[in-house]
């Protein structure tokens, strides 16, 4: 904590927060002592909580609706206008419940003391967590203490004030309205000192002054005002809650205040100073409410934070790579052990293949050759037919009075013998068994007339077509070279010798049948 009179250093321990050092600005070797104190303490990042008098606050309510990028530029311009001579500035958007949001502007001059502290932190080599303003960071502390200290069953007060004397110098009052900072004042330690009845009177006096200030901001007694004063047990007896026109009043020792916010302090004793309470509250926050960028501190903070982040990344990377390498090595061992088994399996299969190949090699021909040979044999056999069924069927189709004089049977199987896979889709022409042609000549005994023979011959065509399905049956030569419907020539007046052998009716008919083998 940095104040008007000096610096107090608090560090975390297992048992709670501990005051490690308190250094006055007036000390001759302040810088060295601060650097030593920082080095000797824990190596946790250092949060600088500024409690000096020269910090300025302003409320900016009229913010137009803008895009995020334009809003940032607008705020920056407003900050420049509000604090033209303050190089250190910050802003935060505050959203009080049931009220319009507003911007809280803060600013402070970059004093040599802050630069000195930055230099001391550089010497000490400690990491820096950030720079914050005590009043802005303690707004939540006031609300938390008020909620814990006072009964909230009735109508809660809208206003709350936390008053504490700080070892770093001054009496700090933080006034909160509806959970947002309304006013803050710091009063230098008077001649009455930092404790005792004189100090209590000073507190009352300064609080009454604060009341007049907040009355200008709209405070009325109806709104309710809770007041908490951090002081030792001894100083408590000097306060009377009836003397102050407030809704609720309570004195809290630093230990009681720490306990109320769930913190503890080590070796606090019966101190009247409330620094530890603010330090404990700020130290437990994950992030500052109003982070302030002080160039000299920022110059040190950023590289150290970056190196911390980089170290964390490298450590994670190392852990990750270690885990990955371990996993890869484990895979290596596993695969290596698999290889032994696979080698055995391969050797076994090689043996099995050798045995099977030996049996196979004993055959006189290879399988593909045998397949082709059998295919050829099948083709050749398909090219041959048994003529007996065909001739028997022909004989059965002919009546007993039909006398054959010539019979010719031809089986053309030249296309069948070419064999092989045929056709675009590998369909075999195995169904093709060639073509059979049967030619026969016959006469009909029994003394039939020519007309009767011709009729019989025509009738025989139909019979043969029925008996030999798929066959084409043609009369090559009809009896008397006539047909019942075709052309015909003859002579009238000569003897009709159509009957009996040797006469004109004794000639033969010739048939031709063509079709697939039966």
Partner 1 sequence: MIKLIGLKRIVVLVFLVALNLMALGVYLFSVGPMLDGVQSQKDALSGAISGLHGRIAGVKADTAYMQENISKYTALQAEGFFLPENRFTVKDAMEKLRVAAGISNFAYSVGNVKDIPNKDAGAVHYKLIDSAIGVDHIVSPLDANIYLLVQDIDRSFPAFVRLQSMQIHRSRPVDAQSLKAIANGQPVSFVDATLAFEWIAMVPDKPASPAAAGGFRGQ
Q: Please give the DSSP secondary-structure letter assigned to residue 2.
A: B
Q: Please give the DSSP secondary-structure letter assigned to residue 246.
A: S
Asked if 476 touches partner 1 (CB under 8 A), the answer is: no
Q: In a 10 Å sphere around its CB, with 0-12 CB exposed, 13-18 middle and 19+ buried, how is residue 494 labelled?
A: exposed
Give the contacts of 294 (CB within 8 A, at least 6 positions apart): 88, 110, 114, 118, 131
Q: Please give the DSSP secondary-structure letter assigned to residue 217.
A: T
Q: Give residues 18-37 in contact with partner 1 (rule: CB under 8 A).
A: none
Nearer to partner 1, 337 or 489 (CB): 337
Asked if 311 touches partner 1 (CB under 8 A), the answer is: yes
Could you tell me the smallest distance in angstroms from the CB atom of residue 503 to partner 1?
A: 17
Question: What's the maximum distance between 2 C-alpha atoms anywhere in the chain?
Answer: 181
Could you tell me the smallest distance in angstroms from the CB atom of residue 246 to partner 1?
A: 50
Nearer to partner 1, 98 or 358 (CB): 358
Nearer to partner 1, 42 or 243 (CB): 42
Q: Give residues 324-353 in contact with partner 1 (rule: CB under 8 A).
A: 324-325, 328-329, 331-332, 335-336, 338-339, 342-343, 345-346, 349-350, 352-353
Q: Give residues 97-126 in contact with partner 1 (rule: CB under 8 A).
A: 122, 125
What phi and psi values does residue 415 have, to the nearest 5 degrees?
-70, -25
Nearer to partner 1, 72 or 374 (CB): 374
Strand partners, 460: none
Q: Give residues 149-168 in contact with partner 1 (rule: CB under 8 A).
A: none
Cα 437 versus chain centre, distance: 80
Note whether 102 and 64 are within 8 A (CB): no
Asked if 309 touches partner 1 (CB under 8 A), the answer is: no
Could you tell me the smallest distance in angstroms from the CB atom of residue 65 to partner 1?
A: 42
Q: Give residues 348-387 in contact with partner 1 (rule: CB under 8 A).
A: 349-350, 352-353, 356-357, 359-360, 363-365, 367-377, 379-381, 383-387
Q: Give residues 277-296 in contact with partner 1 (rule: CB under 8 A).
A: none
Tokens of 123: 């010497």
The helix (run of H) or strand (run of E) holding residue 47 is strand 46-50
Tokens of 286: 């994950």
Question: Using CA of residue 187, residue 189, residue 191, residue 197, what is the dihedral sign?
Answer: positive
Could you tell me the smallest distance in angstroms from the CB atom of residue 480 to partner 1?
A: 20
Could you tell me the smallest distance in angstroms from the CB atom of residue 275 to partner 1?
A: 28
Nearer to partner 1, 384 or 466 (CB): 384
Nearer to partner 1, 114 or 413 (CB): 413
Could you tell me the smallest distance in angstroms from the CB atom of residue 283 to partner 1?
A: 22
User: Contact letters (x/-) for partner 1, 400-439, by CB under 8 A?
Assistant: ----xxxxxxxxxx---xxxxx------------------
82: left (phi over 0), alpha (psi -120 to 50) or beta: alpha
What phi and psi values does residue 288 have, to the nearest 5 degrees?
-70, 145
Q: Give residues 42-101 in contact with partner 1 (rule: CB under 8 A).
A: none
Tokens of 405: 């004089």
3-state secondary structure of 366: coil
Nearer to partner 1, 217 or 324 (CB): 324
Q: Please give the DSSP secondary-structure letter assigned to residue 320.
A: H
Strand partners, 91: 105
390: left (phi over 0), alpha (psi -120 to 50) or beta: alpha
Nearer to partner 1, 359 or 495 (CB): 359
Asked if 300 touches partner 1 (CB under 8 A), the answer is: yes
Q: With CB under 8 A, what is the number of residues at the site for partner 1?
A: 77
């Amino acid at each position: 904590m940095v104040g008007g009179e000096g610096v107090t250093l608090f560090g975390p321990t297992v048992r709670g927060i501990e005051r490690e050092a308190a250094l006055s600005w007036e000390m001759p070797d302040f810088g060295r002592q601060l650097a030593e104190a920082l080095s000797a303490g824990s190596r946790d990042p250092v949060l600088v909580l500024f409690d000096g008098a020269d910090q300025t606050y302003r409320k900016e309510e009229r913010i137009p609706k803008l895009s995020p990028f334009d809003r940032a530029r607008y705020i920056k311009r407003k900050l420049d206008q509000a604090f033209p001579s303050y190089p250190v500035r910050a802003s935060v958007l505050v959203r009080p419940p049931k009220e319009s949001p507003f911007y809280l502007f803060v600013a402070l001059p970059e004093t040599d003391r802050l630069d000195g502290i930055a230099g001391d932190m550089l010497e000490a080599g400690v990491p820096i967590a950030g720079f914050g303003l005590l009043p802005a960071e303690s707004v939540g502390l006031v609300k938390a203490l008020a909620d814990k200290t006072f009964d909230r069953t009735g109508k809660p007060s809208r206003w709350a004030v936390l008053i504490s004397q700080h070892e770093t110098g001054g009496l700090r009052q933080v006034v909160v309205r509806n959970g947002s900072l309304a006013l803050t004042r710091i009063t230098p330690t008077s001649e009455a000192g930092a404790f005792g009845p004189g100090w209590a009177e000073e507190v009352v006096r300064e609080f009454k002054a604060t009341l007049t200030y907040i009355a200008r901001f709209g405070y009325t007694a109806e709104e309710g005002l809770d007041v908490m004063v951090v002081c030792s047990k001894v100083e408590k007896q000097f306060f009377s809650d009836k003397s102050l026109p407030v809704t609720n009043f309570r004195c809290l020792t630093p230990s009681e205040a720490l306990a109320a916010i769930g913190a503890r302090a080590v070796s606090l004793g019966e101190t009247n100073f409330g620094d530890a309470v603010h330090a404990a509250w700020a130290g437990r926050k994950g992030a500052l409410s109003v982070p302030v960028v002080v160039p000299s501190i920022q110059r040190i903070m950023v590289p150290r934070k970056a190196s911390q982040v980089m170290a964390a990344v490298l450590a994670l990377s190392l852990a990750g790579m270690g885990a990955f390498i371990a996993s890869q090595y484990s895979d290596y061992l596993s695969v290596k052990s698999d290889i032994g088994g696979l080698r055995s399996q391969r050797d076994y299969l090689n043996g099995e293949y050798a045995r099977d190949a030996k049996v196979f090699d004993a055959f006189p021909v290879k399988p593909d050759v045998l397949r082709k040979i059998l295919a050829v044999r099948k083709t050749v056999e398909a090219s041959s037919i048994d003529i007996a069924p065909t001739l028997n069927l022909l004989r059965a189709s002919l009546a007993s009075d039909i006398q054959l004089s010539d019979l010719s049977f031809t089986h053309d199987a030249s296309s069948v013998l070419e064999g092989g896979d045929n056709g675009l889709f590998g369909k075999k022409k195995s169904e093709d068994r060639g073509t059979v042609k049967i030619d026969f000549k016959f006469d009909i005994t029994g003394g039939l007339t020519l007309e009767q023979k011709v009729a019989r011959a025509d009738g025989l065509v139909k019979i043969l077509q029925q008996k030999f399905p798929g066959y084409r049956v043609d009369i090559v030569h009809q009896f008397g070279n006539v047909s019942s419907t075709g052309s015909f020539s003859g002579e009238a007046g000569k003897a009709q010798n159509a009957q009996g052998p040797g006469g004109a009716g004794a000639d033969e008919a010739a048939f031709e049948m063509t079709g697939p083998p039966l």
